[in-house]
Amino acid sequence: MFLDVSKNRSFDVLVIGGGPAGMAATVTASGEGRKVGLVDDNPDLGGQIWRGERKKPSSAEARVVFEELQKSTFEALPGTRIVGLVRPGTLLAEASGSLVELSYQSLILATGARELFLPFPGWTLPNVMGAGGLQALAKSGLPIAGKSVVVAGSGPLLLAVAAHLKKKGAILRGIFEQAPLSKLVKFGLGLWTEPSKISQAIDLRWQIGAVRYRAGAWPVEAVGGEVLRSVKLTDGKKVWSVDCDYLACGFGLVPNLELPAILGCSIGPGGTIVDEWQQTTVENVYCAGEATGVGGLDLSLFEGKIAGHAAASGRPDKARFLLNYRDKARRFARALDESFALRDELRHLAKADTIVCRCEDVPAGALAGRTSWVDAKLQTRCGMGPCQGRICGAATSFLHGWERGSVRPPIFPVGVENLAEVYSNSASSPV
Amino acid sequence: MPDDSIALTIDGQAVRVAPGTSVAAAVLIFQGPGFRRSVTGTPRGPLCGMGICYECRLTIDGLPQRTSCQTVCQAGMEVVTDVP
């Protein structure tokens, strides 16, 4: 892997992440007349929620943002993954096997969120996927028609995924939400203050039709030899089995914080800490969307716009009205968070031989006596594989309360051949 | 398959997919759900679908450990799985 100097780029505002927050930030900063670059590690823009929708948006909101982006002047850098910081103001990125340097005056981190996966017996079997994971594959060409699917885990994403899969012809064998009905009803009542959310919820229920949505139930085992055959579920009293081709299972979302962390941004309990204009604790580095704390689409769009204004032209008064909209969306997100809080039983699904770290195949039993994330890494290699603890780190944070601690570059696996050369020319050597 | 389909090989087998299909989806269609073996030999396939978990990693055009869920099939692409 070689540093390709001809592909080095320099921007006034560099946006990392092409989901709703990053797209909104790009449109806004570009509208202020700044030279803007938009980086995403996926082949196309849209993020997870609008994956594959650039040419055919599925909602009015997506259509508006894609159209605005189409009219904006900026440089898109898809298929490009940030791996580290070369020096303040310059990031190292990898694209199609070569390394490039991306420089900026202001940086907007819109790194989004990933699904929280929790270990239970059989969860490593092929065809056990994330809820968003199966949806992403279905959007990228996996035929799902006629396949039977169990959707399980937690959060509003389950309904959206189920509706999408059903539309594509999947046979839904049930949606199982771990949160108890009582909490969901409370949340449902809270929706009366947000009429647009009610219509969204009704719309999703309508699309899912007669499919069973069951609250207070969760998976305890995925059964199969070389591939998934069935799922065992429980409501805490009895256990039953459902045959299926796919289990789409995620327990909510966790923010992607690796990049903010290596840039030195302070991280709070929910995500990257930002001020009222979305600036992190590092000057000229902004953060917007799920990476500041999971909060959904509306919040991401408001945060992206605010960050775009602030990064492009200071803190313009004309954008101040956005702060109120953002704060309202944030309150809605907090209520959602409480309703889908994870139950304690989920901490005890893994047996001693159930793999927790999927990269290094570290079983739950090996982690039982460990006292911290660092202790677990050093003693068991937990979190030391290619995903760099992104999956098991989030899981053990919930299971054991371990903090992941410091993050070191490169934040994604990258060929080492020329990393040394890149960093040898920089004042600070973070490797 | 319409004329604009993309021809590539998966473990030497010639296949055709619709434009825009990810390598992960292509392997699921033609090869099945097992993409590779873990360090202790258990079968694995895609999990996150978004380039985070690395469970779907494959060798693509000679480059190892590529996230197949984030790679779009291109004409002439050579995909090699880690399934014995």
Cα nearest neighbour of B35 on chain A: A126
pLDDT tens per residue across span A119-160: 999 999 999 999 999 999 999 999 999 999 999 999 989 998
Q: Which helix H or strand E contains A38, and what residues bound it?
A: strand A36-39
The residues spanned by each domain of chain A are: 5-113+254-337, 117-251, 344-400
Q: Does B29 touch chain A (CB under 8 A)?
A: yes
The residues spanned by each domain of chain B are: 6-80
Query: With a CB-CB cutoff of 8 Å, which residues 45-64 of chain B face chain A?
Result: 45-55, 57, 63
Q: Which residues of A touch B6 (CB under 8 A)?
A: none
Whether A227 sits inside 8 A of B47 (CB atoms) is no
Cα nearest neighbour of B40 on chain A: A361
- Give burial (CB, 10 Å; 0-12/13-18/19+) of A237: exposed
Give the rounded percent of residues in chain A with a pLDDT score beyond 90.
76
Beta-bridge partners for A3: A99
Q: Does A128 touch chain B (CB under 8 A)?
A: yes
pLDDT tens per residue across span A347-406: 999 999 999 999 999 999 999 999 999 999 999 999 999 999 999 999 999 999 998 777
Beta-bridge partners for A129: A248
Mean pLDDT score across all residues of chain A:
91
Q: Does B38 touch chain A (CB under 8 A)?
A: yes
B36-40 contacts at long range (C-beta below 8 A, 24 or more positions apart):
B36/B81, B36/B82, B36/B83, B37/B82, B37/B83, B37/B84, B38/A124, B38/A355, B38/A358, B38/A359, B38/A361, B39/A359, B39/A360, B39/A361, B39/A385, B40/A361
Q: What is the CA radius of gyration of chain A?
A: 22
Mean pLDDT of A254-279: 95
- Choice among A16-20, A262-266, A415-419, B52-56 with the minimum mean pLDDT: A415-419
CA dist A183 and A339 (Å) reads 5
Contact by Cβ (8 Å): A116, A158: no
Query: With a CB-CB cutoff of 8 Å, which residues 33-72 of chain A face chain B?
Result: 41-43, 48, 52
Q: Which helix H or strand E contains A29, and what residues bound it?
A: helix A20-31
Cα nearest neighbour of B36 on chain A: A126
Give the rounded percent of residues in chain B with a pLDDT score beyond 70.
96
Q: What is the ipTM score, two decimals? A: 0.96
Half-sphere exposure of B76 (CA within 13 A, CB side): 0
CA dist A298 and A301 (Å) reads 5
Q: Looking at the domain A117-251, which fold is it?
A: FAD/NAD(P)-binding domain (3.50.50)
CA dist A162 and A204 (Å) reads 9
Check residue A332 and give its pLDDT: 86
Residue B75 distance to chain A (closest CA, Å): 16
Residue A189 distance to chain B (closest CA, Å): 32
B6-80 has which CATH code?
Answer: 3.10.20.30
Whether A130 sits inside 8 A of B47 (CB atoms) is yes
Q: Which residues of A touch B50 (CB under 8 A)?
A: 42, 48, 114, 132-133, 136
pLDDT tens per residue across span A39-62: 999 989 999 999 989 988 988 999
Least CB–CB distance from B50: residue in A114, A228, A359: A114
What 3-state class would DSSP assign to A49? coil
Q: Does A282 touch chain B (CB under 8 A)?
A: no
- Greater confidence (A188 vs A31) lies with A31
Least CB–CB distance from B39: residue in A142, A360, A413: A360
Check residue A431 and give its pLDDT: 37
Confidence of residue A240 (pLDDT cuts 50, 70, 90): very high
- Choice among A211-225, A279-293, A327-341 with the minimum mean pLDDT: A327-341
Q: Does A280 touch chain B (CB under 8 A)?
A: no
Q: Which residues of B touch A256 (CB under 8 A)?
A: 52
CA dist B37 and A126 (Å) reads 10
pLDDT tens per residue across span B53-69: 999 999 999 999 999 99
pLDDT tens per residue across span A198-207: 566 656 666 6
Cα nearest neighbour of A248 on chain B: B47
A5-113+254-337 CATH, one of 3.50.50.60, 3.90.580.10, 3.40.50.720, 3.40.250.10: 3.50.50.60
Mean pLDDT of A417-421: 61
3-state DSSP: chain A helix, strand, coil percent, rounded to 5?
A: 35, 25, 40
Least CB–CB distance from B52: residue in A128, A137, A387: A387
Confidence of residue A430 (pLDDT cuts 50, 70, 90): very low
